[in-house]
Chains A and B, each alone.
Chain A
Amino acid sequence: MSAALLLLRREMALSWNGGGGPLLACGFLLSLAVIVPLGAGPRLDQLASLAPGLVWLALSLASLLTLERLFERDFEDGTLDLLALGPLPDEGVVVLKALAHWLTIGLPLAAMTLPVGISLGLTPAQLPLLALTAAVGALAFSVTGALGAALAIGARKGGLLIAVIVLPLFLPPVIFGAGALVAQADGRSPGPALALLCACALVAVVIGVLAGAAGLRGSRT
């Protein structure tokens, strides 16, 4: 079995075992979705106009909270040392860890946005676009979050620090992801916003991987 597959499988297994992974993230997403109607009033037509923003807020926060210790645990227990002495370059390690996060947490979160969207008053016709944008956005979040987590390896205060680093970089996917939903709701074509969202995700992958690997290297020099 190739080393890449080995690492991907381990990361996915750890995500499931260590702390419930997708269940935890999805539970968090649902809890957020419950608070909003109770705070903003239960009128579905009002909620529907807020829904894209709320879904994206919940999605980015749920991604962020699960990304926080993507490298920290490995740093503390010596796994990062082992990974450095293996066959894959740092870029490969970052890609695989981010990919595992997307597969085990990002995609379940994207699926979870569907019931949340319905409960917030979106119509079934909007759901395919919601799921698509959420899946692409979650990919961008996973890679960008991996970048932040790699830069913060060994820092004195992990959680909030990563949030401050990463949230500004989360904004472009949020803008275009929510923009596509709004465009569709207004009867315009969501195509341009969707294309820009995909472009953002691509840029995030390239930069996140390169900078994340630089962060890994920085943690041991």
Chain B
Amino acid sequence: MDIESGSQNDGAGMIRLTLEGVAVRRGERRLFEDLNLSVRPGEAVALTGANGAGKSSLLRAIAGLLTPEAGRMRFDDNGQDLDLEVARTRHLHLIGHQDGFRSGRTARDELAFQVGWCGGGPGGIDEAVRALGLEGLMDLEVRRLSAGQRRRLALARLLAAPRSVWLLDEPLSPLDARWRAEVGQLMQAHLAGGGIILAAVHDPLPIPARTCEIGGTA
């Protein structure tokens, strides 16, 4: 597998994501409503907005981890609608604040599980580990990694188990300047291969991206 050219082998060539009139409510509070957004293959969208505006909730709603109050979501592959369940369980990655790593297990075990669960093979893991500079760290327990290293370990899943749609919740915040640039290049390669990226951010992404402001109904 060639990461540099961002090849996609998740079976869906070019996935487009469309949101129509989406509204999300948390408890008594409506975070936003009537959100329309279309992300074409090869496109990145930076979700901006104040703290609590609902950026993370939107990503979780797209991933099906939260039911929107209203609206429709569509994943289509060259105009052919995909089953939502299939799209979410085969073609979508969500990297959130909680990475799902057990602190007492080694980075290798944890990454192997996450990648295997998402349908990636062991070959991809080695490539991803190299691309994210994790070579010396894989036998350490996750709790001994720094925040930046731990985030890179989470991001390694994106490369080792290729899926078209990347939903990233502040992916770069714990990373230093060097790794922001490196991860930016990996994102660029993903887009070049026809993937799409939706990222909740406070700082601008290091790649060309459309901006979508969330919130404003409150």
Contact = CB atoms under 8 A, between A and B. Distances in A.
Interface of A: 1, 3, 6-7, 10, 13-14, 17-18, 74, 76-79, 81-87, 220-221
Given A78-B99, A220-B65, A221-B66, A87 B104 contact: no
Contact of B105 (A17, A82, A85): A17
B63 A82 contact: no
B184 interface: no
Given A81-B94, A82-B114, A85-B64, 18 more contacts: A1-B116, A6-B113, A13-B109, A17-B105, A77-B99, A77-B101, A77-B102, A78-B97, A82-B117, A82-B118, A83-B117, A85-B88, A85-B93, A87-B89, A87-B90, A220-B64, A220-B66, A221-B66
18 contacts: A6-B116, A6-B117, A17-B104, A18-B104, A77-B100, A79-B102, A81-B60, A81-B65, A81-B94, A81-B96, A81-B100, A82-B114, A83-B117, A84-B63, A84-B64, A87-B90, A220-B66, A221-B66
Contacts of B113: 6-7, 10
A10 B104 CA distance: 13
A82 B93 CA distance: 9
Interface residues of A: mostly helix, strand, loop or mixed?
helix
Interface string B63-101: 111110000000000000000000011101110111111
A43 B30 CA distance: 66
Contacts of B119: 3, 87
Contacts of B88: 84-85
Interface of B: 60, 63-67, 88-90, 92-94, 96-102, 104-105, 109, 113-114, 116-119
